[in-house]
């Protein structure tokens, strides 16, 4: 199946999920603003989110999907399901151990994640909320393992739609408070996180059962297979850890800056994550199983076609998204979050962080589609080493730039580090003969960039000539002007056939 068409299906569910997520964020901004309680919850939620990202996203899929695919094609489905059972037993036991240790040592963990917190009440609240959120850790990681298998089986919609559940659960106590039904309690928000994790896991289990992909547990582990899986998983975990360390370091540095810096960065990151999820993550998730099958079957022509097709789609979508976020940052934040406890000053500060992050958006989208090219060849070590380099670059840049630009400097460091990672990935792909930057791809990218500059000119001009109107309608008008100008310019300059993104038959 066409990976861009798969990505469009994933992206459709991602849009729904992000709408629910932004509804949650708008309610949080209205109820909590950039207060100390809001910062305490964000730090508390960082810990389970860290392990979800380490085990439950790219690292797990990178190790599990190629190995599961090879077992099912080389052996049979029963053997592959036995291997899945071994993985769940191993990872599930590890998560239970980590959860127990984290509960005991949560005070020390919070001291690392937010070393700038000095108020004892704020610190204790963070510790209590983090402990309440811990059960979410086990649920979401096991759900992510099943999500990888469902992606392999072609059931992309379920893993893509599952995050909607968490958002809806978190919206419930916030909405009840806004409408005056109950007094708001931050502890209720933590309980909602746990309930959301349980429901997500239940949904994935039901679908896996319906398509006969439930695990088969045995009395002993498949030693050789689990060992091979572990050697693939470990570098992926380290790679994901490096990316998460960037976020942790940014929030830890932000905890030393004026109150509100953590929240300003959080809302900017949330907006940054929308196009990253719609384009980068969707294309990466779609590319991995299809590219892996082409590699395992020895169909190099098919593999090259998939790679080129995905890279072109990524460039065409990433460039206008980055430009739109940068030029309309303050207007977007004003429409989404500027109400209740979220002040006009918060809007300006969040917009500064978003503009800095937008500079790195195309880089992070490219990372999401370059890494699967390594994973399909059972190579997770190279992306790990590159991610470690990127992490060190980010820490140094963050420390330096925050001295000049405060929280916006932390965001700018993240953006610049992303471009370093892309450059190193491209060099490594070329050195290993997996892929190289062709002249035609470079020309295509330059044409897409030129189309983006035309779009930027249209947006800049429009903002100076359109009459005063409510922010929501102004944003809609600018989206229409920017989108249509880019569509025309990109079509004329690149000759890209947009319908192929949704073409079911085109290979």
For the record, the structure tokens of 480 come out as 């229409």
Alpha-carbon distance values, 416 to 8, 37, 98, 200, 391 (Å): 28, 31, 33, 35, 11
Cα(158)–Cα(202) distance, integer angstroms: 11
Q: Which residue has the tokens 């209740």?
A: 340
If you ran DSSP here, which 8-state letter would residue 343 be given? -
Residue 312 CA, chain-centre distance (Å), reads 20
48-64 core/surface letters (b: 16 or more CB in 10 A; e: else): bbbbbbbbbbbbbbbbb
pLDDT given for residue 450 in this prediction: 94
Kindly state the helix (H) or strand (E) to which residue 495 belongs, with its residue range. Answer: none
CA dihedral 281, 282, 285, 289 (to 10 degrees): -150
pLDDT given for residue 505 in this prediction: 43
Cα(71)–Cα(15) distance, integer angstroms: 34
Cα(154)–Cα(290) distance, integer angstroms: 10
If you ran DSSP here, which 8-state letter would residue 504 be given? S
pLDDT given for residue 298 in this prediction: 66
pLDDT given for residue 352 in this prediction: 93
pLDDT given for residue 507 in this prediction: 41
pLDDT tens, N- to C-terminus, the chain (507 residues): 555 555 566 666 767 777 787 788 888 878 877 678 888 888 888 777 777 766 655 566 667 777 777 777 666 778 888 888 888 888 888 888 988 998 999 888 888 777 777 788 888 988 999 899 888 888 888 888 888 788 777 777 777 777 888 889 989 888 888 887 777 788 888 899 999 989 989 988 898 898 888 888 876 665 677 777 777 777 767 777 777 777 777 877 887 888 788 888 888 888 888 888 777 666 766 666 666 666 666 666 776 777 777 788 888 888 999 999 999 899 999 888 877 778 888 889 999 999 999 999 999 888 888 887 787 777 778 888 888 898 899 999 999 999 899 889 999 999 999 999 999 998 888 887 777 677 778 888 899 999 999 999 999 888 878 888 888 888 889 989 998 999 999 899 988 777 666 554 444
Q: Which residue has the tokens 């059960």?
A: 135
Cα(272)–Cα(414) distance, integer angstroms: 12
If you ran DSSP here, which 8-state letter would residue 280 be given? I
**Residue spans of alpha helices (H) in 255-380:** 261-275, 282-296, 300-327, 329-337, 344-358, 361-375
pLDDT given for residue 506 in this prediction: 45
| Model-wide pTM > 0.85 | no
- Sketch the domain layout of the chain as residue ranges: 3-437
pLDDT given for residue 281 in this prediction: 66
Cα(267)–Cα(254) distance, integer angstroms: 13
């Amino acid at each position: 199946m066409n990976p861009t068409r798969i990505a469009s299906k994933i992206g459709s569910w991602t849009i729904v999920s992000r709408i629910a997520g932004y509804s949650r964020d708008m309610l949080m901004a209205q109820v909590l603003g950039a207060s100390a309680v809001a910062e305490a919850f964000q730090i508390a939620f960082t810990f389970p989110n860290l392990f979800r990202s380490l085990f439950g996203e790219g690292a797990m899929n990178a190790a599990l999907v190629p190995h599961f695919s090879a077992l099912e094609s080389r052996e049979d489905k029963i053997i592959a399901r036995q291997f899945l059972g071994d993985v769940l037993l191993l990872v599930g036991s590890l998560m239970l151990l980590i959860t127990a240790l984290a509960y005991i040592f949560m005070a020390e963990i919070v001291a690392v994640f937010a070393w700038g917190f000095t108020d004892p009440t704020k610190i204790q609240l963070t510790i209590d909320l983090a402990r309440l959120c811990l059960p979410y850790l086990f649920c979401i990681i096991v759900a992510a393992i099943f999500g990888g298998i469902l992606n392999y089986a072609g059931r992309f919609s379920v893993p893509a739609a599952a995050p909607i559940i968490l958002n809806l659960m978190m919206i419930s106590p916030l909405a009840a408070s806004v409408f005056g039904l109950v007094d708001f309690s931050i502890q209720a928000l933590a309980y909602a996180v746990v309930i959301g994790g349980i429901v997500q896991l239940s949904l994935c289990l039901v679908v896996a059962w319906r398509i006969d992909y439930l695990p088969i547990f045995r009395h002993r582990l498949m030693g050789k297979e689990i060992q091979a899986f572990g050697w693939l998983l470990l570098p992926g975990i380290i790679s994901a850890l490096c990316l998460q360390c960037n976020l942790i370091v940014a929030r830890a540095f932000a905890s030393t800056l004026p109150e509100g810096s953590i929240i300003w960065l959080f809302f900017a990151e949330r907006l940054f994550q929308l196009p990253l999820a719609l384009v980068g993550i969707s294309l990466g998730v779609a590319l991995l199983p299809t590219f892996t099958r082409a590699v395992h079957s020895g169909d190099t022509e098919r593999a090259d076609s998939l790679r080129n097709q995905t890279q072109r789609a990524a460039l065409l979508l990433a460039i206008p998204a980055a430009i739109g976020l940068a030029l309309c940052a303050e207007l977007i934040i004003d429409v989404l979050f500027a109400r209740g406890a979220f002040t006009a000053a918060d809007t300006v500060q969040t917009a500064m962080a978003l503009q800095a992050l937008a500079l790195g958006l195309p880089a992070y989208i490219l990372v999401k589609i370059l890494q699967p090219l390594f994973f399909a060849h059972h190579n997770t070590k190279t992306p790990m080493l590159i991610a470690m380099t990127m992490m060190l670059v980010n820490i140094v840049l963050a420390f330096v730039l925050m001295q000049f630009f405060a929280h916006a400097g932390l965001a700018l460091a993240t953006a610049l580090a992303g471009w370093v990672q892309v450059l190193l990935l491209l060099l490594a792909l070329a050195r290993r003969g997996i892929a190289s930057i062709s002249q035609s791809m470079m020309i295509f990218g330059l044409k897409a960039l030129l189309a983006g500059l035309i779009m930027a000119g249209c947006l800049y001009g429009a903002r100076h000539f359109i009459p005063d109107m409510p922010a929501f309608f102004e944003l809609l008008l600018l989206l229409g002007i920017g989108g249509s100008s880019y569509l025309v310019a990109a079509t004329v300059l690149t000759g890209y056939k947009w319908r192929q993104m949704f073409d079911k038959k085109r290979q």
